[in-house]
Structure 1
Amino acid sequence: MAITLPDDLIVLERSAWAQIQAGTLTADTAAAVQARLTEVALELGENRYEVERALKGAVRHPEPAGVE
């Protein structure tokens, strides 16, 4: 079963990923992603690490358009 990620978490992770690539990631950005990630895992009743894996996959290795 696929984990459905909320848009706000994806936006946070995209921001963090852009900062990582630019070498400008701040502790505040990283903490915000981790805090929201933990909240989402609890809300979904999913393992936090599985939610993080799904999030990083969605942001860093997205499926090409039209592929499911």
Structure 2
Amino acid sequence: MAIELPPNLIELERSAWAEIQAGTLTVPTALAVHEALAAFTAESGQSRFDVEMALKKRVRHPEPEAA
């Protein structure tokens, strides 16, 4: 089952990932991702683990775009 991730959650994770890679991750950035993830999983009823794994895969290991 594919998880439909909201754009705001994807953008927050992208920001956090960029900060992680730069070695500059801040508590406010991490907290924003955490809170958005918690809100989404509470609203959707989906497993937090499954959503977080799908989110990380989407941001950190994106599928190549079809030509």
Note the C-alpha offset of 1:42: 1.3
> Mind listing any 5+ residue stretches in structure 2 that lack a counterpart?
none
What RMSD in Å do the two structures reach over aligned CA positions?
1.2
Q: How does 1:21-60 map to 2 (within 5 A)?
A: 21-60=21-60
| TM-score calculated relative to the size of structure 2 | 0.95
The corresponding residue for 2:63 is 63
Count residues with an aligned counterpart: 67
Unaligned runs of 5+ in 1: none
Displacement of 1:66 after TM fit?
Answer: 1.9
1:11-66 CA-partner distances (Å, limit 9, x unpaired): 00000000000000001100100000011111111011110000000000000002
TM superposition score normalised by structure 1: 0.94
Percent of pairs with identical residues: 60
Runs ≥4 residues deviating over 6 A: none
